[in-house]
Structures are given as structure tokens and as C-alpha cells.
Amino acid sequence: MRRLLPLTILALAAAAFLISMAACKQKETATPTPTLPPGWTIYRNTDLGFSIAFPQEWVETETGIQEPAVVIQGPGNLPVVQVIISPLPQVMTASEFADLALEALKQGLTNFQELSRQDVTLGTAPGFAVTFTGASQNTELKAKIIFVLRGSQVLQVLAYSTTANYDRMQSTIDSVASSFRMEEPAALAGIPRSQALTLAGAGPVTLDPVLSRDSNSASFIVEIFSGLVSLNRNLAVVPELASSWDVSDDGKTYTFHLRKKAKFHSGREVTAEDFKYSIERAADPQTGSETAALHLGDIVGVKDKLAGTATEVSGVRVVDPYTLEITIDAPKPYFLKKLTHTVAMVVDRNNVETGGEWWRQPNSTGPFKLKEWVKDDTLILERNPDYYLGAPKLPYVVFRLFAGIPMLMYESGEIDITSVGLEDLERVQDPANPLNKELITSPGFTLYYIGFNQTVPPFDDPKVRLAFSYATDKQKLLDLVLKGAVRPASGILPPSFPGYNPQVKGLDFDLAKAKALLAQSKYAVNGQFPPLVFTTASFGTDPGPIVSALVDMWQQNLGVTFDNVRIMNPDDYTYKLREEKDNLFDMGWIADYPDPENFLDILFYSGSAENIGEYSNPEVDDLLERARAEQDEASRMELYRQVEQKLVDDAAILPIFFDINYVLLKPYVKGYAPTPMPIPTFKYISLEH
């Protein structure tokens, strides 16, 4: 979780005088309640779901979705009352969160002293209150903070002032704090819940279709942008911006006929020139796409432009405004599938040439528009009423970014769909649990694997790679750490994936063979087996249970030493790993399109950008090149079976498991079907509250 403890009140006294008074939300004056003196004002936030009362002469400043949500100040800017809404870092009670928050407060205050702590009730909601004193910038402060839990959120009411002022106004301050009430949010970011599919998660790293390399970014891009073709929910190639296409007799030239009613979100018509620009932009070395060579490199001229030896892509020709011709270097039966990748999607030249992060306000063509994006908080998609395949039924999709624990948010009704983690899987699989009726299970086209850096010792020696593979008890690892929630991987292609071979012979756990191979390796023979570093990704300092278990297993089984487990930021990991990898690394590969070429060729062909471990085998390269051109489907699949077995025998990587998707879905969400890879999904969904 990126924001574990967002509550900070460092330099409270200074902040009290620096808060801007602009953008005040108009108050509503309510009839005084029996517990409030006459003339008090009620501030109500229907988006965030709370209200609080205060004397009429006090002034409130609403900060929107930033923290704090509202700041209320007395005459002369003191006292100050803040309402702060934060995600829970983990399942805990209000008093347990209070302990964490107070530890953070102690870092910013001197002479910190806790005066009291007690359970309280705000309306009907139980809470926990702490009163304390401390000094900030030589100013003595006194404060009360109340914590109330709501699903995956903790709502905090913080009231503070100088100690003398607090003591003089304590009755009023206590009345303001105790007037806080939680209310059912009527809307989120101004959008009624009944009009929006609400989800939790992380925002995209980028929305530029040619720069995206992570599946999370791709899952947003496929909803906002579109290309000539796409995949449907059966993973078949279907028309998108192209209504149809013809293929030449030699299988090398594709003529696409564009839909004449297709428009960008701005209303401008999409033409063949837009696609020529988009492909040439992807192939421009100045753009910096790391996927263009892989997914567009079959097009004649793309590699020349990427190399800087051509100014245009010769294999892309505009026949007329609605006809685009693409010529590839050889007939390839999987070429149309590659055009479903985000790198082949159309962009608006005028939009791109505004410069900077133009993709934060994209003028695109997909079924949904990007309405709003507040980093690490909210991302909102709005349906495109002019979508050429018909307007989606779903008015909005609201993503709550880093907003809390998704499972808690689902159970409290804050979101409509969530994946199920290991900690909750057993209980939701229990038929006696009401959540079991909302559980959907489906296979994923995801391979989780350990990569070996074969450019440096010791994994340039195949015997070392084989030793680590044989020393890995995958079944024990997955039973203990992942509780049987995934399928152990013997090979590389996932079950149900085209070309999957259930007969592939994996490298099963064999400790005696592992030790013998390690002893025969050139580094053990020389007595110079190097210490190891494992590269992984995490938002925190914990590498996670799988990496920790693997490191322990190898150290115990093989007697090797790990100097370090180096943790990178997940946002950077897939973009920087090739250059920054250490001896070993972990990676998950999710299919871009349903063809063995997408795993075996892209991950293991010599020099491929996704061949992160830099494996190279001329025999494998030859088989892959033959498979690219093979027109007979059965013969092509046989070549890929040979490739997969050779990769396993070489220990090109260490396959660990294939994913299984566990999803909870609210009954009123209709038309949702899980897919094993990112494809446009929301256009199929409707809400029936």
C-alpha cells in the first residue's frame, strides 16, 4: 500500500495560520438539534459521507478529495478542526489505528504527552478518542483526535489549538468534535453510486498506448483507446475501427476498410492518415516505445524507422481516407492478433503534439472517455455516447485509487467487484458463507516465473540454472505460501492457452540432482561461487512471502548465499528491470494476445526486448523463425511444443505457477465476465440496482 499512514500534523500551529480560505463550500444552516446550541451551522459532505456542526462565526474550507477533506477554524484561525479520511493499512480496530497514528504524531511534536484515551460513540458509530499535548515550533499545543471506522476507511476528527486557547474553549471544541456523524455517501466524485461501476485499485503508470508495458495500464488503455481490430470475450479477433479487411494471395498485404462513422471523442472523424501517423509515431525512436519492435516489427519499414534509417514506415499506405494498406515481411498467421495490442491503437496527432503528459487528457476513440484523474485518489471513465459500436450501457466507471483494503471495501458496499486474496479465499470458498454465491473462478493466462540473468555469473552456466530449478520444491512452496490457490507450472504456456502442452516434461524437485549439478558447475569447481542478489518489486520493504520462501529454500538446499533482496518500486519495475536486474528476478507475464508466439518468441528469442534474462540459443531461434512463417496450424503448434520443451530443458527461466482468478461480483452487476488477459470489458456491463 502506497499510503500507509497519511495522517500527519507536523507543525500544527504554523498550518493553522497558513490554510487558504479560498474555495469555501456554501454552508447549509439546519435547525439546531437538542445537543447543539442555536446558531450553529452543519457542514455536510454528501460525496464523502459525513457531517459536522460548528458555531456560525467559524469558517470552513473544503479541500475536496485531498487530506484533510475539510478544515474548520474559529475566530482568528484558532482552534482548528480537521476531518481526515484515510484507508486502513490492514484489518484493525480504531484503537489499534490510533496507536499507529500517535506514533506518527510523536515524530513531529516535542514534549508529547498523552492525557487520556477512551471509547466514544458518535451518533450510533463507535469510535476511539485520544487527547494529548505537545509542542511544535516552540508553540505548546493541545489536541483531541477521534477515530471512527467505516469499511476500509478510518475517519478522523482532529481538533487542536494552543494549550491556553484549547482549555478556554474546551466545551465548544468538544461539542464540535462530538457532532461529527457518518452518513451514507450519496455520490462519489459527484457521480451517484447507481450510475457508476465502482472499483478499487492502482492507477495506470501511463495511458500512452505505445509506452505501456504493464498489464494494469493496459487494462485502462483498452477501455479508452481502440485499434483496427480487437479481441472479444471469446478471445477471437473481431472488427473494431476497421469494419472489414482483405488479405492478399501471398498473405503479406492486409487492406483495412475503416468505419465511416468512427470518431475521436472530440467528434473528429478517424481516417487512414490517423493510423499511418500512429504507427509511425510508435516506430519513431524518439518516442521510446519498448513494444513497437515486438508487436509492429513484422510491418515492412518499422524496423528501419526504429533504427533511424528511414523517415517513414514504407509498409503502411493510405489508399484513401477510409482504406489503409499494411504490408508485412512474410505471411504470419498471428499478425492480426498482434494488432490488438495497445501499441497498434490509434491516437490523435493534435492531442499528442500538445506535448508533455498529453495522455492525461486523451482524445481517443474507445467506448469510454477519461473524465477525471486525480493521481493516487480517483480515476473516472465516462461512456462515449458516439462509440461506433453503440454507446455502452454503463454511464460511469469510478476507480478509487489506493483507497483502502479492497476486500473490506467490497464487504462494506464501497466497491462492486474485487479480486480475492489468499487471506480471504478459504472463507469465500465456504458454501456456508454468503459471499460464496458472489464468487467467480476462472483461469488466467499469467505465468509467474523466476528469471536468471544469464549475462553475469553464475547463471551464465546452464548447470547452475538447472541446479536452482531442481532445488525448488514448487508444490511445497505453493501449498504453504499460496495455499493451493494457483497451478504449479511445469512449462511456459498456461492451461487452455493455444498450444498448451500438458505433456511437457518439467524439472521436478530433485535435491540430489540439484546438488550434483551445482557441484559440477564451473563456479563450484573453482571455489568461487558468487554471492547473489535477488531483484523484486514492492511498495514497502517486505519482498513478499514467495520471494522470501524461495531465497530460504535455495540457501538451505544448495548452501548458496544471498547478499541482498533488492526491492524496486512496482511502477518502475517492468520499465527498468532489463537494465537494473541482478542475478535473479521475479516476473509475471500476462498474455497480450492468444498465440504461443506471444510467450515463446517474445520472451526467449535472442535480442527480444522482453527477453529480460538475455537467454540465447541458436537452435531455439531457428525453431521460432520457422514457426513464424509456418502456415499449417498443426505444424506451427508442433514447432512451439519443441521450443517449449527445449526452454524447459535449458532452464531458460524457472516457471513457478499459472494464475487462477478469484473475483467477487455484486449481484446487480450484469454482463461481467472475467477474461484471462486485458481486453475491453466495461462496454458489456450494466447495473441493475
Quick: pLDDT tens for 256-287: 999 999 999 999 999 999 999 999 999 999 99
310 is a domain residue: yes
Q: Is the pLDDT of residue 170 over 60?
A: yes
Do the domain assignments include residue 615?
yes
* Domain final position from 359, 379, 408: 359
Is the pLDDT at 142 greater than 70, yes or no?
yes
Report which DSSP code applies to 185: -
Separation of alpha carbons 545 and 568, rounded Å? 16
Tell me the mean pLDDT in the region 410-423: 90
Report which residue type is found at 78. Answer: L
Q: Average pLDDT for residues 528-532, to the nearest whole number?
A: 88
- Judge contact between 74 and 169, C-beta under 8 A: yes
Q: Same structural domain for residues 241 and 147? A: no
- CATH of residue 318's domain is 3.90.76.10
- Whole-number pLDDT of residue 332: 95
Q: Is the pLDDT of residue 12 over 50?
A: no
Q: Give yes or no for residue 82 having a pLDDT over 70.
A: yes
CATH number of the domain within which 121 lies: 3.40.1000.10
Backbone angles phi, psi at 663, to 5 degrees: -130, 140
In a domain, 431, yes or no: no
Q: Do 462 and 349 belong to one domain?
A: no
Residue 34, pLDDT score: 37
- Within-domain flag for 397: no
Do 340 and 482 have their domain in common?
no
Same domain? For 95 and 149 the reply is yes
Same-domain status, 176 and 236: no
Q: Are residues 452 and 554 in the same domain?
A: yes
> Among 15-24, 211-220, 444-453, 513-522, which is the least confidently predicted range?
15-24
Check residue 66 and give its pLDDT.
58
Which residues constitute the domain of residue 619? 443-660
The 10 Å CB-count burial string (b at 16+, else e) for 150-161 is bbbbbbbbbbbb
Residue bearing the bigger pLDDT, 4 or 110: 110
pTM of the predicted structure, to 2 decimals:
0.78
Same domain flag for 230 and 181: no
Regarding whether 237 and 102 lie in a shared domain, the answer is no
- Greater confidence (376 vs 23) lies with 376
Of the listed ranges 45-54, 384-393, 416-425, the least confidently predicted one is: 45-54
- Count the domains in the chain: 3
One DSSP character per residue, 559-627 reads ---EEEEEEE-HHHHHHHHHHH--SEEEEEEE-SSSSTHHHHHHHHSTT-TT-TT----HHHHHHHHHH
Summarize pLDDT for 550-596 with one digit per residue, the tens: 999 999 999 999 999 999 998 889 889 999 999 999 999 999 999 99
Residues 251 and 335 in one domain: yes
Q: Are 347 and 471 contained in the same domain?
A: no
Nine cell digits for residue 89? 493499512
Residue 28's pLDDT is 35
Model pLDDT for residues 606-641, shown as the tens digit of each residue:
999 899 999 999 999 999 999 999 999 999 999 999
Report how far residue 608's alpha carbon sits from residue 595's, in angstroms, rounded to the nearest whole number: 17
Residue 194 lies in a domain: no
Evaluate if residue 186 carries a pLDDT over 60.
yes
What are the C-alpha distances in Å from 491 to residues 54, 87, 196, 622, 669?
Answer: 65, 40, 41, 20, 36
Per residue in 86-140, pLDDT (tens digit) is: 888 888 899 999 999 999 888 889 999 999 999 999 988 899 999 999 999 889 9
Picking from 359, 392, 408, the residue at the C-terminal end of a domain is 359
Does residue 561 lie in a domain region? yes
Residue pLDDT, tens place only, 440-472 = 999 999 999 999 999 999 999 999 999 999 999
Residue 44 has pLDDT above 60, yes or no: yes
Let me know the angle formed at the C-alpha of 618 by 613 and 622, rounded to the nearest 5 degrees.
115
| Residue 216 within any structural domain of the chain | no
Mean pLDDT, the chain, whole residue set: 90
Q: Quick one: 342 and 479 in the same domain?
A: no
Gap between the Cα atoms of 312 and 280, Å rounded: 6
Residue 266 backbone class (left: φ over 0; alpha: ψ -120 to 50; beta: rest): alpha
505 and 650 in a single domain? The answer is yes
When pLDDT is cut at 50, 70 and 90, the band that residue 16 belongs to is very low
End-to-end alpha carbon distance in the chain? 31
pLDDT class of 521 with cuts at 50, 70, 90: very high
**More confident site: 340 or 538:** 340
Mean pLDDT of 395-419: 90
Torsion of CA 452, 456, 458, 459, to 10 degrees: 30
Give the residue-averaged pLDDT of 41-67. 85
In a domain, 210, yes or no: no
Residue 14 scores a pLDDT above 70: no
Give the domain CATH number at 610.
3.10.105.10
Amino acid at 380: I
